[in-house]
Amino acid sequence: MSKILNFIKDIISPKYCYSCLKEWHFLCPNCLSKMKNFKEFCFVCKQLNYEFDIHKNCKKDVYYDKILILTHYKNLTIKKLIKDSKFYWRKDILEDFWQYLSTLLLKNEEIKEKEDYIIISSPMFFLRKIVRWYNHSEVLSKIVSKDTWIDCNFEIVKKIKHTKQQSKLTKTERENNLKGVFRLNYDLLDFIRWKNIILVDDVISTWTTINEISKILKNNWVNKVIWLVIASD
């Protein structure tokens, strides 16, 4: 039913590529291929590494295992797509990234048993979710889950406090800004034990938030933490 509704929606209000204006995608595959996209690299030292894994010698005080990034946020087309999806209630823009994100994940993570993985979203404080109408990260998580057949769960980690925007703070301020902000749902401890967690988000600007959430998960017996995002600086 959802496929039929989406088809009808595309006919009534067709998608146009933000870059070349061709129909059927907000960002067509051809335009994405022409962008300066990320090669496989370690997010900590920014040096090349196989399947985006974090180097072993870069692991000090780092709790995530890899960060898969589709493209650069500095690209003006990407920046406008993400801003429109967040601030102009264009959830359909996020949904149109499903194939790109799923392909990026399956290409760079050897998934033998889907039951060993759980997809979750980057948590959003409930008041901000009310203002925006939806959590953009949840939208992305759902489409990747549906395409890869990996279960998703949005009750594992919650954001219980409002925070200032991380990118505008110093390193010390960022760390203080996140103290006591995220809380693990301890009723789900057995559910996540030894699993591989895939967190899906639109943009990563600083490593502080992703490391704090990853730390909570790793300290509670999660095997691996993978971040899957559309863009980063």
Q: What are phi and psi of 15, to 5 degrees?
A: -80, 145
- As a whole number of angstroms, the distance between CA 149 and CA 127 comes to 30
CATH 3.40.50.2020 at 35-232, yes or no: yes
The pLDDT score that the predictor gives to residue 233 is 80
In the predicted model, what is the mean pLDDT of the chain? 88
The pLDDT score that the predictor gives to residue 1 is 45
Q: Which residues contact 116 (CB under 8 A, 6 or more apart)?
A: 195, 196, 223
pTM: 0.89
CA distances from 189 to 13, 28, 222 (A): 44, 40, 9
Ordered by start, the domain boundaries in the chain are: 35-232
Mean pLDDT per block of 10 residues along the chain (233 residues) reads: 53 82 93 92 93 95 96 95 89 91 96 96 79 86 95 92 64 63 93 96 85 94 96 89
The pLDDT score that the predictor gives to residue 11 is 55
pLDDT in tens, 64-101: 999 999 999 999 999 999 999 988 888 899 999 989 99
The pLDDT score that the predictor gives to residue 176 is 60
The region, left, alpha or beta by phi > 0 then psi within -120 to 50, assigned to residue 131 is: alpha
Q: Which residues contact 18 (CB under 8 A, 6 or more apart)?
A: 26, 27, 77, 80, 81
